[in-house]
Amino acid sequence: MIEMILKCCDLTPVPPSDTLMASVCGLIGDLVCMYGADILPALNNDKVSNLINKARRSRISKTKATANWAFKELRKVGK
Q: How many angstroms separate the CA atoms of 32 and 37, rounded?
A: 7
Check residue 79 and give its pLDDT. Answer: 59
The helix/strand/coil state of 2 is: helix
> Do residues 25 and 67 make contact, with C-beta atoms less than 8 angstroms apart?
yes
Across the range 38-61, mean pLDDT stands at 95
Across the range 68-75, mean pLDDT stands at 97
Q: How many angstroms separate the CA atoms of 51 and 26, rounded?
A: 12
Model confidence, pTM: 0.90
Mean model confidence pLDDT for the chain = 92
pLDDT in tens, 16-32: 899 999 999 999 999 99
